[in-house]
Amino acid sequence: MEEAVKTERKKVILSGIQPTGVFTLGNYIGAIRNWDKMQDEYNCAYFVADLHSLTVRQDPAALRKQTLDAFALVLACGIDPEKSLVFIQSHVPSHAELNWILSCYAQFGELSRMTQFKDKSAKHADNVNAGLFTYPVLMAGDILLYQPDFVPVGADQKQHLEFTRDIVTRFNNLYGNVFRMPEAYIPKEGARVMSLQDPTKKMSKSDENVNAFVSILDEPNVIINKFKRAVTDSEKEICYREGKDGINNLMSIYSVVTGLTYEQIEKDFEGKGYGDFKLAVGEAVVEKLRPIRENFNRISKDKAYLEETYRKGAEMATGISERTLSKVKKKVGLLAK
Ligand code: TRP
């Protein structure tokens, strides 16, 4: 039995994080709070997708800083580089190489149908570059290089994962079993966190109203103020009920961060006002996010540690990804050196 357990291959989860934009409380509740435990159950790989960010014009110095900050944030959220693979995409040449090869197996028609391409090209009509168009191919390569079982993707990236799966089928039909078929990873439990300003909409970091979302690095007073301003309703009862979207959202957040059930919360706040409740939710969120903010402040200042960690990560990721890449090169007919 012991033997069997030892030799069983741990399933692999891989995720890419854009360096532009911060994690929200929604990301925390939906995924990040389980990252720590996930590392024991799976082989996890996280990388900062800096190459993907180039599809939109960036300020070079700002992009460098955001890349390093995103890397530090992954570590601050509990990813342990001794257990998981953490790296920066552009440090591993295999990504750009596989991107070219796979682009010759992706069709113009299917890439034209990607909703993100359609949205982004409408939004940046003055810069509809080829990278924006082939973005899903780069992403397919990111994934397939590491042969993962699961890829956690939000709704906006689902179509790109479907595209990746189509590439796998196409490629494997031509050349045999080269790529493992990745599945979307759906977290077991996970409350959907809604906007604090419009609780019928999902909380989003790209909301133009900054009061609509909580960033996991927001200062305590900022978090408290955002909760104080949260949109609720004109009643005064704190209970989970159809139609009370704002209160339902706050109850769901409070329940996740405190571990209290809805019944307990309703009892604790009986006879109290929305103001008291909003403050309690804000304070509970502040406490929950405190370790991440403190870790981030410490780690992001430690440039030597960050450098050492991303260099090691790049070396490991290069080793793993090159195994897949050399197989691919051989299959498609490139001459080995
Ligand atoms: N496109 C993803 C996003 O915008 C980031 C990403 C790049 C990614 N490569 C990936 C996510 C590979 C998962 C797997 O969020």
- As a whole number of angstroms, the distance between CA 161 and CA 16 comes to 12
Under 8 Å between Cβ of 299 and 72: yes
Distance in Å, CA 174 to ligand 1 centroid? 26
Cite the beta strand spans of 108-223 per DSSP E: 150-151, 183-184
Residue nearest to atom 4 of ligand 1 (CA): 18
**Do 17 and 47 contact (CB within 8 A), yes or no?**
yes
Distance (Å) from CA 259 to ligand 1 centroid: 31
Q: Give residue 4's pLDDT.
A: 53
> Of the residues 139, 146, 149, 153, which should be mutated to test ligand 1's pocket, given the most ligand atoms within 8 Å of the CB?
139
Segment holding 309, helix H or strand E: helix 303-332
The radius of gyration of the chain's CA atoms, rounded to the nearest angstrom, is 22
Residue 190 Rama label (left phi>0; alpha psi -120 to 50; beta): left
CA dist 78 and 252 (Å) reads 23
Q: Which of 337, 310, 321, 335 is nearest to 99 (CA)?
A: 321
- Residues contacting ligand 1 via CB (< 6 Å): 14-16, 18, 49, 52, 139, 142-143, 151, 157
- What is the distance in A from the centroid of ligand 1 to the CA of 52? 8
Atom of ligand 1 nearest to the CA of 154: 15
Q: What is the mean pLDDT of each run of 10 residues along the chain (337 residues)?
A: 65 95 90 92 97 96 98 97 98 98 98 96 94 98 98 92 98 98 83 93 92 97 98 94 96 96 96 96 98 97 98 98 98 96
pLDDT at position 1 is 47
* All domains in the chain, ordered by first residue: 2-190+303-332 (3.40.50.620), 210-297 (1.10.240.10)
Opening angle at CA 320, ends 40 and 85, nearest 5: 35
Supply the pLDDT for residue 285. 98
Tracing tokens 């040449």 back to the chain, one arrives at: 93
* Token pair recorded at residue 170: 């196409």
Can you tell me the distance from the alpha carbon of 34 to that of 191, in angstroms, rounded to the nearest whole number? 13
**Cα-based distances in Å from 69 to 88, 111, 277, 292:** 11, 31, 33, 13
**In whole angstroms, what is the distance from residue 130 CA to residue 99 CA?**
13
Nearest-CA residue for atom 8 of ligand 1: 16
3-state secondary structure of 153: coil
Confidence at residue 188, expressed as pLDDT on a 0 to 100 scale:
67
Active site residues: 120, 202, 205
pTM: 0.93
Distance (Å) of CA 288 to CA 18, 33, 196, 213, 261: 24, 10, 18, 16, 17
**222 CA from centroid of ligand 1 (Å):** 29
